[in-house]
Amino acid sequence: MHIPLPPVALPAEVLALAQEYDEGRREAVAPRDAATVVLTRAGADGSAGPEVYLLSRHTTMAFAGGMAVFPGGGVDPRDAHEGVPWAGPSPASWAAQLGCEEIEARALVCAAVRETFEESGVLLAGPSASEVVTDVSGDDWEADRVALETRELSLTELLSRRGLVLRSDLLGAWAGWTTPAFEPRRYRTWFFVAALPAGQVTRDVSSESVSVQWMPASRAVELAEEGALALMPPTYLTCLDVARFRDPDALLAEAASRRIDMFTPRVEGEHLSLMPLHRSLLAARGRL
């Protein structure tokens, strides 16, 4: 499947539609809050930079069908529960970094942890603020993962029953993307980064994917440019950004300094607009 990579040229009918939204002749659909996690690990070849975990979604999915994506999804209202066992930076601290209200920050961090477990089998939690659970691959854990996925169980209930705390310090804030106004299905998505915890392994468990794979972020960029890997523009640009760093520790150090301004692509001429950072990264690759 060929997906246009940035800078994305828009066909005439989409340009006309976008203009109608810009002029107020159409009302955009309200975006749904979502969180996605760039799960990383050190690459076997240290010179290739960090590896990222990608899931290839079923082609029948209503959103991003056939695309390779990071683990993630929409916020569940129960993700905002004040009783979630929590360790690490507080929801108030996250709100300042994510550029949102405290209740929304709590929900986003919980959604990031929950979706990562649902879609990769990796749980960013531990029995204390200084520990991470090491093996969550048994049948009992799988039953809990499925219960989360089907919404029979909330993250708060899972952690409380297991005697665990959510480790918010294992996440880093990375970027924020809102689907353009002219799209019929819209999300306001906060991107996080995380390192694969020692002792845990990813598992091909998501009901929304047909396959999963680890690869260097730099290789994902190359394959997308060759037309061999279908990435949505934000995923491609995130891989391009992540590939600049040597390992997960460097990514998390960078994330600690980031403050997220939600970015909504708009039409500039015949293309969708880009963040300044992404303009410079694409220019460096000779793509602008």
The sign of the torsion formed by the CA atoms of 209, 133, 157, 87 equals negative
CATH number at residue 211: 3.90.79.10
The answer to whether 213 and 57 have CB atoms below 8 angstroms apart is no
Percent of the chain with pLDDT over 90: 88
Q: Quick check: is 250 in a domain? A: yes
- Which tokens hold the place of 239? 């891989």
The percent helix, strand, coil of the chain (3-state, each to 5) is 35, 20, 45
Q: Quick check: is 29 in a domain? A: yes
Q: Quick check: is 1 in a domain? A: no
The answer to whether 13 and 168 have CB atoms below 8 angstroms apart is no
Domain holding 173, by residue range, is: 12-282
Residue 107 burial (10 A CB sphere; 0-12, 13-18, 19+): buried
The Cα-based distances of 189 to 36, 87, 172, 232 in angstroms read 7, 23, 14, 13
pLDDT in tens, 148-181: 999 999 999 999 999 999 999 999 999 999 999 9
Q: Quick check: is 267 in a domain? A: yes
For residues 111-117, give the mean pLDDT: 98
Q: Quick check: is 6 in a domain? A: no
Query: Does the reported pTM lie above 0.85?
Result: yes
Instruction: Tell me: cis bond preceding 91? Omega within 30 of 0 counts.
Output: no
Closest listed residue to residue 116, CA positions, set 63, 170, 153: 170
Per the structure, the count of domains in the chain is 1
Angle value at C-alpha 43, between 42 and 48, nearest 5 degrees: 120
For residues 260-287, give the mean pLDDT: 94
d(CA 112, CA 79): 10
pLDDT in tens, 185-201: 999 999 999 999 999 99
Assign 238 to helix, strand or coil.
Answer: helix
Question: Which pairing describes strands 68-69 and 271-272: parallel, antiparallel, or unpaired?
Answer: unpaired
Tell me which amino acid residue 122 is. Answer: V
Q: Quick check: is 287 in a domain? A: no
pLDDT for residue 208? 60
Q: Quick check: is 20 in a domain? A: yes
Q: Quick check: is 174 in a domain? A: yes
| pLDDT above 90: residue 288 | no
| pLDDT above 90: residue 82 | yes
